[in-house]
Amino acid sequence: MEKMLKVKVFVDRMSQPSRAVLIFYKVNGIEFDEIKVEISKRQQLSPKFTAINPFRKLPTIVDGRFKLFESHAILIYLASAFPSITDHWL
């Protein structure tokens, strides 16, 4: 049996959009791996992060080979992708 990979969530907790995405994950019981990217240290400008998100913005998620950035798009994706999430989030 193949193990499901957790969604990687790149965030800086000082960022309100990042906090909104983290809260959504936690409230809905979605497992994820939080990867901290410190905006104050300009880590979002690193070549490693730019390869993940060419816009260099947070939050960003990586779900397998699928990458998504922009908090509203991430929240819509999560509300649609996980059947356990109730429709009122949409």
Predicted local distance difference test score (pLDDT) of residue 12: 98
Does the annotation mark 15 as catalytic? yes
Predicted pLDDT at 81 = 87
pLDDT of residue 66: 94
Give the mean pLDDT per block of 10 residues along the chain (90 residues).
Answer: 75 97 94 97 97 97 95 93 75
3-state SS string for 18-84: HHHHHHHHHHCCCCEEEEECCHHHCHHHCHHHHHHCCCCCCCEEEECCEEEECHHHHHHHHHHHCCC
Determine which one of 15, 46, 80, 84 is catalytic.
15
Predicted pLDDT at 1? 42
